[in-house]
Amino acid sequence: MIEFRGVSKTFPDGTRAVVDVDIVIPPRKTTVFVGSSGSGKTTLLRMINRMVDPTSGQVLIDGTDVATREPVALRRGIGYVMQNSGLLPHRTVIDNVATVPLLRGARKRDAHAHALELLDTVGLDRSLADRYPSQLSGGQQQRVGVARGLAVDPNILLMDEPFGAVDPIVRAELQQELLRLQGELGKTVVFVTHDIDEAFLLGDQVVIMQHGGKISQAASPTEILANPADDFVAEFVGADRGKRALHITEVGGRRIVLDGDGRAAGVLAS
């Protein structure tokens, strides 16, 4: 479990990125931070692995304040996937995936064997292992990024707009793939997006951030759609447009919430 207790972040130039955030992120579920540009989503995410430290308040992982953890060691135990994959351009796919395990002292042969398995896990052909990132499509690069994030077998996987830079069809594929993976792996996933449809599709818990780094609502997609906390949320999720008359359908054993246009708005926990 990850817990934010009264967390604020003011950058040295005076920008108040996050203001007094209290939130519990349950284990083995996907929590999505969604909001417009500059609402503090990335800052909040980065406080989990100490890429950013709060100005006040605490971030706890399983009851331990991350401020007491050595940042590099902390980061090596938490998967991190970012937009544009963040792959090292001069290293092959397999070396990119194996980077952190090798830094942690794994033997090269073991790290590579595990990296190949991870390519299977994220749906990539092993024949791509010796390519360089520039020789892959955008969607393939993102899959390598996810494989790299999983390479240390983390309990927590942080994903910062991981599908933001790919076209809509590939994006939909990657979203489905993440739902499948999460069904198998059951990580604590914290995901940042500015796309409310993506948030509702992927999130067990959706955290709606408003400009100025405050949380407007944190709840399941269905709760948010049924009972938006305020006018900001209602407008942000489109509830005011009457488009989201919800109904539920079953696809592949999962209960999917559809909006008035028949678009997937969320998946109900079974």
Q: How far is the CB of 194 from ligand ATP (least distance, A)?
A: 5
Determine if 212 is a binding residue for ligand ATP (CB under 6 A).
no
Q: Is-contact 239 216, C-beta < 8 A? A: no
Residue 35 Cβ, how far from ligand ATP at the closest point, in Å? Answer: 6
Candidates 1, 11, 56, 231: give the one binding ligand ATP (CB under 6 A).
11
Site for ligand ATP in 78-107 (CB under 6 A): none
* Residue closest to 123 by CA, chosen among 110, 111, 137, 102: 137
Closest CA to 246 of 231, 229, 232, 228: 228
Helix boundaries (H) for 18-152: 41-46, 71-76, 93-103, 108-121, 138-150
Sheet with 247-251, side-by-side order of all strands: 247-251, 254-258, 264-268
- CB-nearer residue toward ligand ATP: 151 or 209: 209
User: C-alpha angle with apex 35: 62 to 152, nearest 5 degrees?
Assistant: 40
Q: Closer to ligand ATP by CB, 161 or 259: give it.
A: 161
Token pair of 231, please? 């006018």
The nearer residue to ligand ATP, 69 or 194, going by C-beta atoms, is 194
Q: Please, are residues 263 and 257 in contact by the beta-carbon 8 Å criterion?
A: no
Told to check if 133 binds ligand ATP by CB under 6 A, we report: no
By CB under 6 A, which span of 10-18, 130-138, 140-148, 177-185 interacts with ligand ATP? 10-18
Site for ligand ATP in 13-42 (CB under 6 A): 13, 15, 17, 35, 37-42
Q: Tell me: does residue 75 bind ligand ATP (CB under 6 A).
A: no
Q: Which of 7, 30, 32, 43 binds ligand ATP (CB under 6 A)?
A: 43
Give residues in contact with ligand ATP (CB under 6 A): 11, 13, 15, 17, 35, 37-43, 194
